[in-house]
Amino acid sequence: MSTQTSTDAGTAAPKVVLQIDNLESYYGPIMAIRGVSLKVHEGQIVTVLGANGAGKTTLLKTVSGVMDPEKGTVNMMGADIQTMEADAIVRRGIVHVPEGREIFPLMTVAENIAMGAFTRNDKGAIAADEEMVYSYFPILKERRSQRAGTLSGGQQQMLAIGRGLMAQPKLMLLDEPSLGLSPLLTQEIFEIIVRLNKEQKVTMMLVEQNAKVALDAADYGYVMELGRIVMNDRAEVLAASKDIQEFYLGVSQDENQRGQRRWKQRKTWR
Ligand SMILES: Nc1ncnc2c1ncn2[C@@H]1O[C@H](COP(=O)(O)OP(=O)(O)O)[C@@H](O)[C@H]1O
Ligand SMILES: [Mg+2]
Question: Does pTM top 0.85 for this prediction?
Answer: yes
Q: 27: Cβ below 6 Å to ligand 1? A: yes
Q: 63: Cβ below 6 Å to ligand 1? A: no
Residue segments in the chain with a per-residue pLDDT below the cut of 50: 1-8, 255-270
What pLDDT, on the 0 to 100 scale, is given for residue 203?
A: 98
What pLDDT, on the 0 to 100 scale, is given for residue 101?
A: 86
| DSSP secondary structure, 167-217, as one string | T--SEEEEE-TTTT--HHHHHHHHHHHHHHHHHS--EEEEEES-HHHHHHH
What pLDDT, on the 0 to 100 scale, is given for residue 196?
A: 98
Average pLDDT, the chain: 90
What pLDDT, on the 0 to 100 scale, is given for residue 3?
A: 42
Task: Give the bridge partners for 223, in sequence order.
Answer: 49, 231
Cα gap 238→102, rounded to integer Å: 31
What pLDDT, on the 0 to 100 scale, is given for residue 267?
A: 44
What pLDDT, on the 0 to 100 scale, is given for residue 165?
A: 98
Q: Which atom of ligand 1 has the smallest separation from the CA of 50?
A: 22
DSSP 255: G
Across the beta sheet with 171-175, the strand order is 94-97, 171-175, 203-208, 45-50, 220-225, 228-234
What pLDDT, on the 0 to 100 scale, is given for residue 171?
A: 98
Residue 37: count of CB within 10 angstroms of its CB: 14
pLDDT, tens digit, for every residue of 11-23?
677 899 999 999 9
User: Please, what CATH class does the domain formed by 14-99+169-252+260-265 belong to?
Assistant: alpha beta
Pocket test for ligand 1, best of 25, 26, 27 (most atoms within 8 A of CB): 27
Domain chopping of the chain, boundaries: 14-99+169-252+260-265
Q: Are strands 16-27 and 71-76 parallel, antiparallel or unpaired?
A: antiparallel
